[in-house]
């Protein structure tokens, strides 16, 4: 029986992916900053662990108790929407610390085990914002685009050790609480000069008919994990698939 470790399982894509792999008979290590046993169905194949991917000691502690596993899904991330002009550098660094450096830190921590066993898969969850430009998400897009470049290079680097590295690119998912996930860091990022423009942007998002569901991302992660080819990118959701096809 294979085991997957997934980051950011408290909601959205991570939670859906944990459920999906559980339903398909895998052992699941679901990690989140504040563990909650109530989010997932009880199972002897499930462990819920506390993890802060921006804290090296937290990463080391989780990997120490997790034991060997077959797949790492780097899903944890934070959203950010606002005018770049109004975004403090400290906020930019916070986004990169989680979305970019957190994923890198987790990946670097598991590579020795995967390389030593000459087996393993890393799946990095990014965004369809890397497939086409979107307004008011410049910093978020930059953090996810960095992960895309990192992943593409690392996939080549680890081929010699039979370790696969994949990308899953979710489309726009209004059910994932992107804005709520942005937290207080988004306050003040849409000053008056941008208000009318932002209102038009939000109205456009509200009219989208093709959007991504959490289960779309879970299914894409599943396909990426079981893909035996050199394919790198797996768009998730009809809008992301359409953007990828047009790229």
Per-residue pLDDT of the chain (247 residues; tens, 9 = 90+): 999 999 999 999 999 999 999 999 999 999 999 998 899 999 999 999 999 999 999 999 999 999 999 999 999 999 999 999 999 999 999 999 999 999 999 999 999 999 999 999 999 999 999 999 999 999 999 999 999 999 999 999 999 999 999 999 999 887 555 555 556 677 778 888 898 989 998 888 777 777 899 999 999 999 999 999 999 999 999 999 998 998 6
The pLDDT value given to residue 179: 53
Half-sphere exposure of 172 (CA within 13 A, CB side): 18
Angle value at C-alpha 97, between 202 and 155, nearest 5 degrees: 95
Q: Which stretches of the chain are DSSP H helices?
A: 12-23, 56-66, 89-96, 103-117, 138-157, 178-182, 192-206, 214-226, 238-246
CATH of the domain at 80: 3.40.50.720
Q: How far apart are the first and last CA of the chain?
A: 38
User: Residue 204, Cβ neighbours under 10 Å: how many?
Assistant: 10
Residue of 164, 160, 159, 157 whose CA lies nearest to 120:
164
The pLDDT value given to residue 187: 78
* 140 among known catalytic residues: yes
Range of the domain at 183: 3-246
User: What is the residue whose two structure tokens read 């819920």?
Assistant: 48
Q: What is the pTM of this model?
A: 0.94
The pLDDT value given to residue 203: 87
Half-sphere exposure of 20 (CA within 13 A, CB side): 21
CA distance 227 to 75: 18
Selected catalytic residue, list 13, 140, 172, 194: 140
Give the neighbor-by-neighbor strand order of the sheet with 121-125. 46-50, 27-32, 3-6, 71-74, 121-125, 164-170, 233-236
The pLDDT value given to residue 227: 96
Q: How many domains does the chain have?
A: 1
User: What is the residue whose two structure tokens read 């797949």?
Assistant: 71
């Amino acid at each position: 029986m294979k085991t997957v470790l997934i980051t950011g399982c408290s909601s959205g894509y991570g939670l859906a992916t944990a459920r999906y792999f559980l339903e398909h008979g895998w052992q699941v290590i679901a990690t989140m900053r504040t563990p909650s046993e109530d989010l997932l169905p009880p199972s002897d194949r499930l462990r819920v662990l506390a993890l802060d991917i921006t804290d090296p000691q937290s990463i080391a502690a989780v990997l120490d108790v997790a034991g060997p596993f077959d797949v790492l899904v780097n899903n944890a991330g934070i959203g950010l929407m606002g005018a770049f002009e109004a975004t403090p550098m400290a906020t930019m660094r916070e986004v990169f610390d989680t979305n970019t450096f957190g994923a890198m830190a987790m990946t670097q921590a598991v590579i020795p085990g995967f390389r030593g066993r000459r087996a393993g898969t890393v799946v990095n969850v990014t965004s369809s914002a890397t497939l086409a430009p979107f307004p008011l998400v410049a910093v978020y897009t930059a953090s996810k685009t960095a992960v895309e470049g990192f992943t593409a290079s690392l996939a080549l680097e680890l081929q010699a050790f039979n370790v696969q590295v994949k990308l899953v690119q979710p489309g726009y998912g209004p059910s994932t609480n992107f804005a709520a996930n942005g937290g207080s860091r988004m306050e003040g990022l849409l000053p008056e000069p941008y208000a009318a423009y932002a209102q038009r942007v939000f109205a456009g998002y509200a009219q989208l008919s093709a959007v991504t569901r959490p289960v779309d991302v879970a299914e894409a992660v599943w396909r990426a994990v079981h893909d035996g080819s050199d394919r790198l990118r797996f768009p998730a959701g009809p809008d992301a698939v359409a953007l990828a096809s047009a790229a």
